[in-house]
Structure 1
Amino acid sequence: MYVVLLTYTAPLPEIDYVLPDHVEWVARQYDHNHLLASGRRDLHLGEVMIARPMARLKLDAILATDPLAVKHLAHYEVVEFSATRTCPELRLLNEAIPH
């Protein structure tokens, strides 16, 4: 599983111009079952996304298609972790429990 910290690297007017395309991109990632959660960071610094377990190269390829990445308007920090404890709603994603 991954936490993706997206930090805007351009002025907000440039971000706002591309944001509708980015919002559509995020929706497609939910449609493809790649994301578990997402939202804005405080102070409009960027966003946080939680991605399902997958190969890191696959996640990198997905992130590279984000319009903010294509236009070089954001930096992505990816933190990989193995979920060993989860709330009941996320039990199927708990990598420590055999399924």
Structure 2
Amino acid sequence: MFIVNLTYVKPMEEVEKHLVEHITFLDKYYASNNFICSGRKNPRTGGIILCNATNMEEVEKIISEDPFKIDSIANYEIVEFQPTKYDENFKKFVE
């Protein structure tokens, strides 16, 4: 399991210009069950994606397709972690 922490490095006007394409990217990886949840930070300085992937290389490959990455809209920090305690509804993502 991975937490992908996006931090915008371009003005909000640039973020907004690429938002539709970014949402399409997110939808692709929700459909493949790689993304579990995502959303904006508050204040709106970037976003967070909870990603279910086999390894860091897979996450990096996925992120390389994000328009925010391609167009240098955001920097990415990827943190790997192993869920050891979770709600029963989350179990399907851990198995």
Task: Give distance in 2, aligned partners of 1:54 and 1:27.
Answer: 19
Q: Paired residue for 1:28?
A: 28
Rg (Cα) greater in structure: 1
Q: Measure how far apart 1:44 and its partner are.
A: 1.0
What is the alpha-carbon distance in structure 1 between the residues aligned to residue 91 and residue 71 of structure 2? 37
Q: How big is the shift at 1:43?
A: 1.5
Structure 2 unaligned blocks of 5 or more: none
- The answer (yes or no) to whether the contact 1:40–1:47 under 8 Å persists in 2 is yes
Q: Please, what is the CA RMSD of the aligned residues?
A: 1.1
Q: TM-score, normalised by structure 2?
A: 0.94
Match of 1:52 in 2: 52
Tell me how far 1:55 sits from its aligned partner: 1.5
The one-letter code of the counterpart of 1:93 is F
Deviation, 1:92, is 3.0
- Report the identity percentage: 26
Equivalent residues of 1:39, 1:48 under 8 A apart: yes
Structure 1: gaps spanning 5 or more residues: none
Quick one: higher RCO (CA 8 Å, sep 6+), 1 or 2?
Answer: 2
Q: For the residues of structure 2 that align with 1:53 and 1:70, how far apart are their CA atoms?
A: 20
